[in-house]
């Protein structure tokens, strides 16, 4: 086997593995497959010291075996997509930041996030999200977006990207050409973006156009069918019309182009991993993600190696991407290509006081008709909280450590009655155990993507139309507030995270006021 060719194949892939320490999977990928780049998930992260040691190992092994400095990547968007979980998850997401203020706020948050990630040994963050969330039924973007106004989203994308770079982290703008107006999740299927080209040009593509003009270094391409942009029946991530034709030639982008993970069902239901890697690279991708399975990573390496040997794909095409990787790293992460990744360690405070303040500023009050007094509800008798729990929804490997963050609301009000109801089984649960309202004088409902579940929505509406004062705190997708316009109190929290829960508690105790402005149209 030609080891130099194997190294080149390995440098075209970004791979993940299980475990908090380098086990058999990681060792095989680094030492036998000669993988060039890495992605870590919540499954790989316990605390600062552990993840820093893991990243040191990855950097050392990659330089030793492949002869190059790796991109060590993470999905740390903040908010609902945070691989730094538990006590490490202390960064608001995009929509919460947009609710808190302008692009200077999101840029500052990105700088703080980047400094934290850099201290742990990461050099790439798969953020920010440039999707225009114009579809209220979008199951996968929602509060990960900065909003539904293309110009405002563009300014946040530019500011956030610059903030990451200032903190020593390469940003990756995603999900090209725009995942915001889909009603399907590309983790589970292959969504269709059905709009004509002029609609895409005037909405979906605007943040990417402006980001390219601002010289952002990397873009991730989504698994989407976009007929208006290509007559080829291939997802954008494998499509030369979209990658080379639109993104490279028409839009003039010469930075890194990455695919979303090729193990997502938007690809894996239709293509073998090796086939998908070859199609993506032929189409112009510089890096392909295979985030989970060693067997699929082996297929990816073999497909590239065999493709180069057989002439199915030219070695010059691979060299073009490898040169671009080197150029982007040398330009944006100075010193890393020659000297390797430095890991200074983290000495800051978590949660960061600025992030706490931004989370509080994001809370958006839509209505308060004699429900929440300025003194708060802490000493109010007869106060009951119903929490409609969101079923697990798959977003990559986003897991929560240490229980549900909204449990913090229950702990903050030990004298109130607190009941959890699963949103997807609300009717069954309430039939099994009817709601007891004896002695209740105010009812606060916490929702979390509850709008996707008609039975839960109907029950909440019944309470709103009943005799009790009812408040609703929407703690994830803001669009569901439209179902509850008749409530006496209506609040947007944007995310079911520790920071958002603590901000909600502060509001309910009368310690702060809600000053945010919703960045999407909902009522």
> In the listed set 334, 354, 379, which residue is the last one of a domain according to the structure?
334
Same structural domain for residues 199 and 88? Answer: yes
Would you state the pLDDT for residue 87?
A: 64
Establish if 454 belongs to a structural domain.
yes
Residue range 69-95, pLDDT digits in tens: 999 999 999 999 999 876 676 799 999
Q: What is the CATH number of the domain that holds 100?
A: 3.20.20.300
Q: C-alpha 432: how far from its chain's center?
A: 36
Same structural domain for residues 406 and 465? Answer: yes
Same structural domain for residues 310 and 368? Answer: no
Residue range 474-519, pLDDT digits in tens: 999 999 999 999 999 999 999 999 999 999 999 999 999 999 999 9
Cβ(39)–Cβ(15) under 8 Å? yes
Average pLDDT for the chain: 93
- Check: pTM over 0.85? Answer yes or no: yes
Give, for 338, the enclosing helix (H) or strand (E).
Answer: helix 336-339
Residue range 192-243, pLDDT digits in tens: 998 999 999 999 999 999 999 999 999 999 999 999 999 999 999 999 999 9
Same structural domain for residues 292 and 367? Answer: no
pLDDT band at residue 400 using 50, 70 and 90 as cut-offs: very low
Same structural domain for residues 230 and 173? Answer: yes
> In the listed set 296, 314, 334, which residue is the last one of a domain according to the structure?
334
Establish if 352 belongs to a structural domain.
no
Establish if 350 belongs to a structural domain.
no
Establish if 521 belongs to a structural domain.
no
Same structural domain for residues 300 and 448? Answer: no
Establish if 519 belongs to a structural domain.
no
Same structural domain for residues 290 and 415? Answer: no
Would you state the pLDDT for residue 396?
A: 39
Residue 402 has pLDDT above 70, yes or no: no
| Count of the separate structural domains present in the chain | 2
Establish if 348 belongs to a structural domain.
no
114 three-class SS: helix
Same structural domain for residues 173 and 308? Answer: yes
Within 13 Å, how many C-alpha atoms sit on residue 289's CB side?
29
Q: What percent of the chain has pLDDT over 90?
A: 81
350 three-class SS: coil
Establish if 345 belongs to a structural domain.
no
Residue-range definition of the domain harbouring residue 314: 3-334
Establish if 22 belongs to a structural domain.
yes
Give yes or no for a cis peptide into 376 (omega within 30° of 0): no
Q: What is the CATH number of the domain that holds 395?
A: 3.40.50.1700
Spatial CB neighbours of 131, under 8 Å, sequence gap ≥ 6: 141, 144, 145, 174, 175, 178, 179, 180, 204
Average pLDDT score over residue span 46-71? 95
Q: How is 490-516 classified by DSSP, letter by letter?
A: EEE----SHHHHHHHHHHHTTSS----
Same structural domain for residues 372 and 477? Answer: yes
Residue range 311-369, pLDDT digits in tens: 999 999 999 999 999 999 999 998 887 777 777 766 667 778 899 999 999 999 999 99
């Amino acid at each position: 086997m030609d080891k130099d060719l194997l190294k080149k194949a390995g440098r075209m892939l970004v791979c993940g593995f299980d475990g908090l320490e380098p086990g058999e999977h990681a060792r095989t990928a680094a030492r036998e497959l000669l993988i060039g780049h890495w992605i870590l998930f919540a499954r790989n992260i316990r605390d600062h010291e552990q993840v820093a040691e893991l990243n040191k190992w990855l950097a050392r092994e990659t330089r030793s075996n492949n002869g190059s400095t790796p991109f060590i990547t993470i999905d740390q968007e903040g908010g609902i997509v945070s691989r730094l979980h538990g006590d490490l998850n202390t960064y608001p997401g995009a929509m919460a930041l947009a609710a808190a203020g302008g692009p200077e706020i999101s840029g500052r948050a990105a700088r703080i996030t980047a400094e934290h990630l850099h201290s742990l040994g990461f050099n790439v963050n798969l953020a920010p999200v440039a999707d225009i969330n114009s579809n209220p039924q979008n199951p996968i973007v929602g509060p990960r977006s900065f909003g539904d106004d293309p110009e405002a989203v563009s300014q946040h994308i530019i500011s956030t990207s610059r903030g990451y770079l200032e903190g020593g982290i390469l940003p990756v703008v995603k999900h090209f050409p725009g995942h915001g107006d889909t009603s399907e999740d590309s983790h589970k299927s292959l969504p269709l973006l059905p709009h004509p080209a002029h609609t895409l040009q005037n909405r979906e593509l605007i943040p990417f156009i402006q980001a390219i003009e601002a010289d952002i270094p990397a873009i991730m391409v989504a698994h989407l069918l976009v007929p208006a942009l290509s007559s080829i029946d291939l997802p954008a991530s494998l499509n030369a019309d979209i990658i080379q034709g639109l993104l490279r030639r028409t839009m003039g982008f010469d930075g890194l182009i990455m695919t979303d993970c090729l193990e997502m069902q938007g690809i894996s239901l239709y293509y073998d991993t090796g086939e998908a890697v070859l199609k993506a690279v032929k189409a112009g991708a510089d890096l392909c993600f295979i985030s989970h399975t060693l067997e699929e990573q082996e297929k990816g390496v073999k497909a590239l190696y065999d493709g180069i040997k057989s002439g199915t794909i030219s070695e010059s095409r691979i060299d073009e991407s490898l040169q671009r990787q080197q150029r982007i790293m040398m330009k944006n992460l100075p010193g890393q290509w020659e000297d390797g990744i430095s890991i200074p360690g983290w000495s800051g405070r978590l949660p960061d006081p600025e992030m706490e303040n931004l989370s509080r500023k994001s809370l958006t009050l839509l209505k308060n008709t004699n429900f929440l007094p300025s003194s708060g509800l802490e000493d109010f008798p007869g106060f009951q909280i119903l929490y409609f729990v969101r079923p697990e929804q798959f977003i990559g490997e986003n897991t929560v450590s240490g229980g549900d963050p909204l449990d913090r609301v229950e702990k903050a009000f030990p004298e109130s009655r607190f009941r959890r109801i699963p949103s997807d089984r609300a009717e069954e649960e309430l039939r099994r155990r009817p709601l007891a309202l004896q002695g209740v004088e105010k009812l606060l409902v916490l929702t979390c993507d509850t709008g996707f579940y008609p039975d839960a929505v109907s029950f909440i509406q019944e309470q709103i139309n009943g005799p009790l004062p009812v408040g609703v705190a929407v703690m994830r997708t803001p669009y569901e507030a439209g179902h509850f316009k008749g409530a006496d109190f209506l609040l947007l929290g944007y995310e079911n995270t520790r920071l958002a829960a603590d901000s909600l508690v502060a509001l309910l105790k009368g310690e702060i006021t809600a000053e945010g402005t919703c960045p999407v149209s909902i009522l």
